[in-house]
Structure formats: C-alpha cells, structure tokens
Amino acid sequence: MSKNIVIIGGTKGIGEALTSLLAKENQVFCISRNPGEIIAGVNYIQTDVNNDMLDMDKLPDSIDGLAYLPGTIRLKPFHSLKEEHFQEDFEINVMGAVKVLKQCYRSLKKGNNPSVVLFSTVAVQQGMPFHSSIAMAKGAIEGLVRSLAAEWAPTIRVNGIAPSITDTPLAADILSNDERKERSAQRHPLKKIGMAEDVAQAAAFLLSEESSWISGQILGVDGGLSSLRV
Ligand SMILES: NC(=O)c1ccc[n+]([C@@H]2O[C@H](COP(=O)([O-])OP(=O)(O)OC[C@H]3O[C@@H](n4cnc5c(N)ncnc54)[C@H](OP(=O)(O)O)[C@@H]3O)[C@@H](O)[C@H]2O)c1
C-alpha cells in the first residue's frame, strides 16, 4: 500500500538512496536546502530545517513515515573543539530533528501505522577518539528515540539507525582516496565500508509494515563494528 513518506535530507547520501528505494511505491516528500537530482514522482521542497519552518501546506495532511538525515562528521581532538562546534553539531543533528518532529506530530498521528527513523552513529556505543562532539549529539538522538518511542506508543513507532562509516558526500573527506577507504574497510569485522544503499535498506525496513512490532530500538548498520571482535 502506498504511504506518505517525508524524508528530510533525501537528496544526498543515505537519504537519496532511501528516496530512490521508496519512490517506486510511495508518495515521497523530500526536503533539503539545495535541489537534488530529480527522481520521478518525488515531491521536492527546498527548506533549511534548522532555520525555517516547514511549509505544512506542501506536505500531506497525514504522514505515514518520516526520516531525518541531516548530520555532521566533525572529527577533532577534544582540546581543539570550540564550544560553538559542539553547539553547531547539536543544532543540526538534534534540534533540527526536534523542530521537524514538533511540526509533523499532528500529521504523524493521523498516519497509517506511522513510523519515525532518526540517525545516530556507531561512535555512541563504541568510544572513538576525536568523536566527542558528534557522539554527544547522537547520544542525545538515541535518548530522544527511546523517550519518544515510549511517549508516542502505541500510535507512532520511533527507531534509530547507528551507521558506521558510509560512502556519502558527508564522509567524502574521510574516504577521499582508495587507501583511506581500504583502511576504513579493514577496521570493520565485515571488511567493508558501508554503501548508502546498505543503510537505506535498514531505514526502509523500519519505515515499513514489516517492522510493525519494533519501536525504541537503535539498529547498528556498521559492518559488525559495534559488537564483534574478530
Ligand atoms: N556517512 C557516514 O559515514 C555516517 C556515519 C554515521 C552516521 N551517519 C549519519 O547518517 C545520516 C545521513 O548521513 P549522510 O552521510 O547520508 O549525509 P549527507 O550525505 O550529508 O546528506 C545529508 C542530507 O541532508 C540534507 N540537509 C543537511 N542539512 C539540512 C538542513 N539544515 N535542512 C534540510 N536538509 C538538510 C542534505 O541536503 P542539502 O545539503 O542540500 O541541505 C542532504 O540531502 C546523518 O545523520 C549522519 O550523521 C552517517
């Protein structure tokens, strides 16, 4: 059955892969600051969700699925991170999601088995050097997932995905050449870095009816990094 799905950040990386997976069978509303590559049938809306309100007239009255993808990867030693860096990371990763969820709550409540997917990182469960700012922001996302999943049950499901390094524009600096990609791959028990589609498939599952008995979970899509030692 066709669903109304809102994807914040559906024009690049994991969000673009998710848009392309879902666009075939659903009404997808894709929100980003810049125009993306057009996928047939997708409704594109340009909004900076950190600074502007969503135009609810351009979104459906009832929303069945919502994914929030804007994020940051700012890897620096703690001593060189400024206070404003922590604030910026918190603003984009957490407050953007909070603002969007507040604006979409009524429409989500009217949805058909509505489901929300937020994005964390493997670096919340696994302590990693230079990740303090992003791990703090995404730790807040994991807290938000569990709190909202409890508060909005049984109507709206809320889950999170915690990827490890995935080949997207956001990770372009870290994966800037083949040697860096190979070094990253070798750190993972499955000896691969993530592809946007690997993570998008997990998000599509959490937005679908197939996951209808799952809420309040953080799904590691991380090549085994968070839980395996090989
Ligand atoms: N890639 C990784 O290695 C990795 C690892 C762990 C966790 N994650 C998490 O996974 C999520 C997706 O990552 P990704 O790598 O796919 O990111 P990405 O390549 O940077 O894509 C982010 C998407 O969000 C949009 N966006 C950013 N800021 C926005 C704003 N203020 N308002 C509206 N749209 C905005 C971008 O479009 P515009 O720029 O045009 O606005 C783009 O469509 C993020 O939350 C990230 O933290 C990624």
Whole-number pLDDT of residue 165: 98
What is the reported pLDDT for 49? 98
From the CA of 121, how far away is ligand 1's center (Å)?
12
CA–CA separation, 60 and 189 (whole Å)? 42
Give the per-residue pLDDT at 208: 98
Q: What is the reported pLDDT for 12?
A: 98
List per-block mean pLDDT (blocks of 10 residues) for the chain, which spans 230 residues. Answer: 96 98 97 94 97 98 98 97 98 98 98 98 97 98 98 98 98 98 98 98 98 98 97
State in words which class domain 4-221 has: alpha beta
pTM, two decimals, is 0.98
For residue 152, the model assigns a pLDDT of 98
Kindly state if the Cβ of 32 falls inside 6 Å of ligand 1: yes
User: Assign residue 108 a region: left if phi > 0, alpha if psi is -120 to 50, beta otherwise?
Assistant: alpha
99's CB contacts (< 8 A; 6+ apart) are 49, 50
- CA–CA dist 133, 78 (Å, integer): 8
127 is written with which tokens? 């302590």
Go through 142-174 and write b for each residue having 16 or more CB atoms within 10 A of its CB, e for each that does not: bebbbebbeebeeebbbbbbbbbbbbbebbeee
Task: Give strand pairing partners of 166.
Answer: 194
Q: Which two tokens stand for residue 204?
A: 């599509």
Ligand 1 site-directed mutation target among 69, 159, 192, most atoms within 8 Å of CB:
69
Q: What is the predicted pLDDT for the residue at 222?
A: 98
* CA–CA distance, 29 with 48 (Å, rounded to integer): 15
